[in-house]
Amino acid sequence: EAGVAQSPRYKIIEKRQSVAFWCNPISGHATLYWYQQILGQGPKLLIQFQNNGVVDDSQLPKDRFSAERLKGVDSTLKIQPAKLEDSAVYLCASSPWRGGITQYFGPGTRLTVL
Amino acid sequence: SQELEQSPQSLIVQEGKNLTINCTSSKTLYGLYWYKQKYGEGLIFLMMLQKGGEEKSHEKITAKLDEKKQQSSLHITASQPSHAGIYLCGADEEGFQKLVFGTGTRLLVSP
Protein backbone atom coordinates (compact mmCIF):
# COMPACT_ATOMS: atom_id res chain seq x y z
CA GLU A 1 0.00 0.00 0.00
CA ALA A 2 1.46 3.35 -1.02
CA GLY A 3 1.91 5.92 1.73
CA VAL A 4 1.04 9.58 1.82
CA ALA A 5 2.82 11.45 -0.96
CA GLN A 6 3.89 15.08 -0.75
CA SER A 7 5.67 17.43 -3.10
CA PRO A 8 7.89 19.27 -3.31
CA ARG A 9 10.16 17.98 -0.53
CA TYR A 10 11.99 21.28 -0.22
CA LYS A 11 11.17 24.84 -1.22
CA ILE A 12 13.06 28.09 -0.76
CA ILE A 13 11.29 31.38 -1.50
CA GLU A 14 11.61 35.03 -0.64
CA LYS A 15 9.14 36.76 1.63
CA ARG A 16 6.01 38.05 -0.06
CA GLN A 17 6.22 35.32 -2.70
CA SER A 18 3.58 32.61 -3.10
CA VAL A 19 4.04 28.87 -2.67
CA ALA A 20 1.89 25.76 -3.00
CA PHE A 21 2.25 22.29 -1.56
CA TRP A 22 0.59 19.14 -2.82
CA CYS A 23 -0.54 16.04 -0.94
CA ASN A 24 -1.95 12.72 -2.10
CA PRO A 25 -3.31 10.65 0.81
CA ILE A 26 -3.42 6.89 1.15
CA SER A 27 -6.02 5.46 -1.20
CA GLY A 28 -9.44 5.28 0.40
CA HIS A 29 -8.63 7.57 3.31
CA ALA A 30 -11.45 10.04 3.72
CA THR A 31 -9.80 12.35 6.24
CA LEU A 32 -6.85 14.57 5.32
CA TYR A 33 -4.88 16.87 7.59
CA TRP A 34 -2.32 19.62 7.05
CA TYR A 35 0.08 20.39 9.89
CA GLN A 36 2.74 23.04 10.36
CA GLN A 37 5.84 22.02 12.31
CA ILE A 38 8.21 24.80 13.30
CA LEU A 39 11.73 23.73 14.22
CA GLY A 40 11.87 22.40 17.77
CA GLN A 41 8.10 22.15 18.14
CA GLY A 42 5.46 19.52 17.67
CA PRO A 43 3.16 19.62 14.63
CA LYS A 44 0.25 22.05 14.80
CA LEU A 45 -2.96 21.29 12.93
CA LEU A 46 -3.80 23.84 10.25
CA ILE A 47 -6.80 22.26 8.58
CA GLN A 48 -8.74 18.99 8.54
CA PHE A 49 -10.83 17.74 5.60
CA GLN A 50 -13.44 15.01 5.63
CA ASN A 51 -13.77 14.00 1.97
CA ASN A 52 -13.90 17.42 0.26
CA GLY A 53 -15.42 19.32 3.19
CA VAL A 54 -13.56 21.31 5.84
CA VAL A 55 -14.03 19.92 9.36
CA ASP A 56 -11.68 22.23 11.24
CA ASP A 57 -9.68 25.23 10.05
CA SER A 58 -9.65 27.16 13.31
CA GLN A 59 -5.85 27.48 13.36
CA LEU A 60 -5.37 28.31 9.68
CA PRO A 61 -4.19 31.92 9.15
CA LYS A 62 -6.85 32.60 6.57
CA ASP A 63 -5.46 35.97 5.52
CA ARG A 64 -2.56 34.22 3.83
CA PHE A 65 -3.15 30.46 3.90
CA SER A 66 -5.68 28.55 1.85
CA ALA A 67 -6.30 24.87 1.23
CA GLU A 68 -8.57 22.84 -0.97
CA ARG A 69 -9.48 19.24 -1.61
CA LEU A 70 -11.80 19.59 -4.54
CA LYS A 71 -12.42 15.95 -5.49
CA GLY A 72 -12.01 14.51 -2.02
CA VAL A 73 -8.68 12.92 -2.86
CA ASP A 74 -5.53 15.02 -3.20
CA SER A 75 -5.12 18.43 -1.60
CA THR A 76 -3.22 21.67 -2.10
CA LEU A 77 -2.07 24.09 0.60
CA LYS A 78 -1.13 27.59 -0.52
CA ILE A 79 0.59 30.49 1.20
CA GLN A 80 0.21 33.94 -0.33
CA PRO A 81 2.15 36.06 0.52
CA ALA A 82 4.74 34.19 2.59
CA LYS A 83 6.31 35.65 5.72
CA LEU A 84 9.59 34.76 7.41
CA GLU A 85 7.72 33.04 10.25
CA ASP A 86 6.15 30.60 7.78
CA SER A 87 9.47 28.75 7.56
CA ALA A 88 8.58 25.28 8.76
CA VAL A 89 7.90 21.73 7.68
CA TYR A 90 4.41 21.25 6.30
CA LEU A 91 3.12 17.77 6.96
CA CYS A 92 0.17 16.08 5.36
CA ALA A 93 -1.55 13.15 7.04
CA SER A 94 -4.53 10.94 6.27
CA SER A 95 -6.73 8.53 8.17
CA PRO A 96 -9.51 6.15 7.20
CA TRP A 97 -13.09 7.07 8.03
CA ARG A 98 -13.91 3.88 9.86
CA GLY A 99 -10.45 2.87 10.97
CA GLY A 100 -10.05 4.90 14.10
CA ILE A 101 -8.18 8.11 13.98
CA THR A 102 -4.64 6.82 13.61
CA GLN A 103 -3.05 9.27 11.23
CA TYR A 104 -0.44 8.32 8.66
CA PHE A 105 2.00 11.04 7.72
CA GLY A 106 3.79 11.96 4.54
CA PRO A 107 7.48 12.95 4.45
CA GLY A 108 6.68 16.66 4.63
CA THR A 109 7.72 19.76 2.69
CA ARG A 110 10.44 21.88 4.23
CA LEU A 111 9.79 25.55 3.47
CA THR A 112 12.44 28.22 3.94
CA VAL A 113 11.36 31.84 3.57
CA LEU A 114 14.24 34.30 3.11
CA SER B 1 -7.13 23.76 24.69
CA GLN B 2 -5.23 20.62 25.58
CA GLU B 3 -1.49 20.79 26.11
CA LEU B 4 1.01 17.97 26.24
CA GLU B 5 4.30 18.26 28.07
CA GLN B 6 7.08 15.82 27.28
CA SER B 7 10.10 15.08 29.40
CA PRO B 8 12.95 15.07 29.01
CA GLN B 9 13.29 17.43 26.06
CA SER B 10 16.43 15.64 24.93
CA LEU B 11 18.27 12.52 25.95
CA ILE B 12 21.61 10.94 25.14
CA VAL B 13 22.02 7.31 26.12
CA GLN B 14 24.68 4.74 25.52
CA GLU B 15 23.78 1.88 23.21
CA GLY B 16 22.28 -0.98 25.18
CA LYS B 17 20.86 1.18 27.96
CA ASN B 18 17.18 1.51 28.83
CA LEU B 19 15.32 4.80 28.79
CA THR B 20 11.90 6.29 29.51
CA ILE B 21 10.10 9.27 27.98
CA ASN B 22 7.07 10.80 29.66
CA CYS B 23 4.09 12.66 28.26
CA THR B 24 1.70 14.52 30.58
CA SER B 25 -1.59 16.00 29.49
CA SER B 26 -3.34 19.09 30.87
CA LYS B 27 -6.73 17.46 30.26
CA THR B 28 -8.40 14.07 30.23
CA LEU B 29 -6.86 11.72 27.70
CA TYR B 30 -9.26 10.18 25.20
CA GLY B 31 -6.53 8.53 23.19
CA LEU B 32 -2.75 8.82 23.31
CA TYR B 33 -0.54 8.27 20.28
CA TRP B 34 3.20 7.84 20.06
CA TYR B 35 5.05 8.76 16.89
CA LYS B 36 8.72 8.76 15.93
CA GLN B 37 10.24 11.32 13.59
CA LYS B 38 13.66 11.27 12.00
CA TYR B 39 15.18 14.61 11.10
CA GLY B 40 13.68 16.02 7.94
CA GLU B 41 11.09 13.27 7.62
CA GLY B 42 7.48 12.64 8.45
CA LEU B 43 6.07 10.97 11.53
CA ILE B 44 5.99 7.19 11.86
CA PHE B 45 3.13 5.77 13.93
CA LEU B 46 4.34 3.60 16.82
CA MET B 47 1.29 2.80 18.90
CA MET B 48 -1.98 4.06 20.31
CA LEU B 49 -3.33 3.71 23.84
CA GLN B 50 -6.96 4.29 24.78
CA LYS B 51 -7.74 2.69 28.11
CA GLY B 52 -6.32 3.42 31.50
CA GLY B 53 -3.70 0.90 32.44
CA GLU B 54 -3.28 -0.17 28.84
CA GLU B 55 0.19 -1.27 27.81
CA LYS B 56 1.41 -2.02 24.31
CA SER B 57 4.72 -3.17 22.93
CA HIS B 58 6.37 -3.03 19.54
CA GLU B 59 9.74 -4.72 19.30
CA LYS B 60 11.75 -3.17 22.15
CA ILE B 61 9.42 -0.22 22.72
CA THR B 62 6.69 -0.35 25.37
CA ALA B 63 4.12 2.34 26.09
CA LYS B 64 1.77 2.62 29.04
CA LEU B 65 -1.19 4.85 29.79
CA ASP B 66 -2.03 6.08 33.30
CA GLU B 67 -5.47 7.60 32.89
CA LYS B 68 -5.68 8.95 36.43
CA LYS B 69 -2.40 10.80 36.14
CA GLN B 70 -3.24 11.86 32.57
CA GLN B 71 0.15 10.56 31.62
CA SER B 72 1.81 8.12 29.28
CA SER B 73 5.32 6.72 29.30
CA LEU B 74 7.40 5.24 26.50
CA HIS B 75 10.11 2.82 27.50
CA ILE B 76 12.89 1.56 25.24
CA THR B 77 14.80 -1.51 26.31
CA ALA B 78 18.40 -2.07 25.22
CA SER B 79 18.55 1.01 23.01
CA GLN B 80 20.13 0.84 19.56
CA PRO B 81 21.33 3.56 17.16
CA SER B 82 18.20 2.88 15.09
CA HIS B 83 16.10 4.19 17.98
CA ALA B 84 17.54 7.67 17.56
CA GLY B 85 15.08 10.36 16.53
CA ILE B 86 12.37 12.58 17.93
CA TYR B 87 9.57 10.93 19.86
CA LEU B 88 6.26 12.77 19.84
CA CYS B 89 3.15 12.06 21.84
CA GLY B 90 -0.19 13.16 20.47
CA ALA B 91 -3.61 13.26 22.11
CA ASP B 92 -7.07 13.15 20.61
CA GLU B 93 -8.40 16.50 21.76
CA GLU B 94 -11.71 15.82 23.45
CA GLY B 95 -12.56 13.06 21.04
CA PHE B 96 -12.85 15.43 18.09
CA GLN B 97 -10.56 13.36 15.88
CA LYS B 98 -7.80 15.91 15.82
CA LEU B 99 -4.43 15.47 17.41
CA VAL B 100 -2.58 17.85 19.67
CA PHE B 101 1.14 17.09 19.88
CA GLY B 102 3.78 17.55 22.52
CA THR B 103 7.03 19.34 21.69
CA GLY B 104 8.93 16.08 21.35
CA THR B 105 11.86 14.33 22.97
CA ARG B 106 15.06 14.16 20.97
CA LEU B 107 16.88 10.89 21.52
CA LEU B 108 20.49 10.24 20.61
CA VAL B 109 22.03 6.81 21.08
CA SER B 110 25.80 6.75 21.29
CA PRO B 111 27.71 3.63 20.22
The number of residues in chain A equals: 114
User: What does the pLDDT read at residue B53?
Assistant: 82
| A contacts of B88 (beta carbons < 8 Å) | 42-43
Contact B48 A42 (CB under 8 A): no
Q: In the predicted model, is pLDDT for residue B1 greater than 80?
A: no
User: What does the pLDDT read at residue B96?
Assistant: 62
pLDDT band at B94 (very low <50, low <70, confident <90, very high): low
A49-101 pLDDT, tens digit each: 988 899 889 999 999 999 999 888 999 999 999 999 999 999 999 988 644 56
3-state SS assignment for residue A7: strand
Distance in angstroms between the alpha carbons of the first and the last residue of chain A: 37
**Radius of gyration of chain A measured on its C-alpha atoms:** 13
Between the alpha carbon of residue A19 and those of residues A10, A12, A52, A74, B80, the distances in Å are 11, 9, 21, 17, 39
pLDDT band at A36 (very low <50, low <70, confident <90, very high): very high
Contact A42 B92 (CB under 8 A): no
Residue B8: asked if its preceding bond is cis (omega within 30°), the reply is yes
How does the average pLDDT of chain B come out, rounded?
Answer: 90
B90 near A CB under 8 A: yes
Task: Tell me the sheet residues that pair with A20.
Answer: A78
* Contact predicate A96/A30, CB 8 Å: yes
Residue A81: asked if its preceding bond is cis (omega within 30°), the reply is yes
pLDDT band at B97 (very low <50, low <70, confident <90, very high): low
User: What does the pLDDT read at residue A61?
Assistant: 94
Mean pLDDT for B86-95 is 84
Contact A104 B102 (CB under 8 A): no
